[in-house]
Structure 1
């Protein structure tokens, strides 16, 4: 398969290198197109008023074409599809991200948003994230599990969708299994406030404790499972449209 590989940590990040090596080992034709700089938490933002620089880069140990984009993760996908053609790629991988993109954090994730952007253009995709563990983050294990999920599920859907994968900080052999589940958990919304001359300086610190939804991604991750959550790009609430239409 022809795979578009991107991320939000930047083309130089260890996670995307691990994912590239895993895909190449599976004999896929991989083209990496990723942000020039780290873009964590940029969600689905795109560049509107500035030019995007699309440059070829060399990454030691990675045997596939690699390009950097001076924009966001979503920009990287858009640029790749423009340069290579909207029908060139068969699938999109985004990651492996440094840190979970589970629960409501997916709303802010550049990693997931890059995968969703591929969906906008009709391309199925997988977003992959590994639990943060400083220099012990299990990128290789996460990449291998993503390949397992891809091999089992990539041709099992008749809709364009994202498979959002999260993997705990365990070796491949230590992961208890793979659970397909729903999104759960609270939003990261706790700030540390410091007074400044003109007001306050707010630093994002943590999330409120929450009782996770049964059979949710965060619950299974805590128990040592990798999780798969199907996400569909569709902003239409058809049930509500039909309900509200009756009033007009």
Structure 2
């Protein structure tokens, strides 16, 4: 199994390397990630100027690592089309510090990176923790490795594009792994005005709306101390989920607990 790992927090992100360590126990991992933090870049790709890519020192034996100019989507495209020989069996994007739930998936660089794999018929996973200052990366990293193993063994098949969010709590407080749909109308961008002494400027601020999350949504799962698993697709309307996915969510939770 050949795994490509990327993110939107940059090549030096702690979550990236913890994730690489766990996935490397499943099979061969190569990292191609942005050379700097690139959050909230969504599905953007670079089309109007060239990109450079350079091999960098790896923190893990046996894991090759490349840093790219450009955006998270660029990194995955370069990884799939240039760095790695085909076929690649799985692309994982993360671990992102901060949630990618509800409407956030539309601007998430973490999800945008995974999307480029999905568009090329490569199974894709975007994985995040719910706290922007989280240091609790072991649980999402272990879960990603469990899912990767199920893909490698053929237990999870189909048109795979998963968005996963883990609450920022110890594993013994997590109540389950729940298959969810995206919450809707969760955030709105507002404008703050300022002045730098010479001219006015405007700062876009993403604000969380005060609302009650609906049952079955990713946000409600997090509120109830569960890991949310949401199946994404390029059709913005919902479609029937992978038939075995809800069963696998329950199994993944039990495996997480057993592996402690």
- Whether the TM-score (by the shorter chain) exceeds 0.5 is yes
Alignment correspondent of 2:244: none
Alignment correspondent of 1:94: 93
Deviation at 1:145, TM superposition (A): 1.9
- Counterpart-to-counterpart distance in 2, 1:216 and 1:151: 26
Q: What stretches of structure 1 of length at least 5 have no aligned partner?
A: 239-248
Number of residues of Structure 1 aligned to a counterpart in Structure 2:
236
**Which piece of structure 1 moves more, 196-205 or 137-146?**
196-205
1:78-110 Cα deviation digits (max 9, x unpaired):
111121457231111100111111111000001
Normalised by the length of structure 1, the TM-score is 0.86
Q: What stretches of structure 2 of length at least 5 have no aligned partner?
A: 240-260
Normalised by the length of structure 2, the TM-score is 0.82
* Contact map agreement 2:99 2:132 (CA 8 A) in 1: no
SS of 1:189's equivalent in the other structure is strand
1:184-204 Cα deviation digits (max 9, x unpaired):
143432536234365552341
- Counterpart-to-counterpart distance in 2, 1:230 and 1:56: 33
* Contact map agreement 1:17 1:62 (CA 8 A) in 2: no
Alignment correspondent of 1:139: 137
Matched, 1:70 2:69: yes
- Counterpart-to-counterpart distance in 2, 1:190 and 1:76: 27
- Counterpart-to-counterpart distance in 2, 1:183 and 1:237: 10
Alignment correspondent of 2:2: 2
Task: Map 1:1-248; keep pairs closer than 5 Å.
Answer: 1-26=1-26, 28-61=27-60, 63-84=62-83, 87-132=86-131, 134=133, 136-152=134-150, 155=154, 159-191=158-190, 193-196=192-195, 198-234=199-235
1:130-163 Cα deviation digits (max 9, x unpaired):
11152x4311111112223344467456542311
- Please report the RMSD computed on the Cα atoms of aligned residues, expressed in angstroms: 2.4
- Counterpart-to-counterpart distance in 1, 2:238 and 2:210: 30
SS of 2:178's equivalent in the other structure is strand
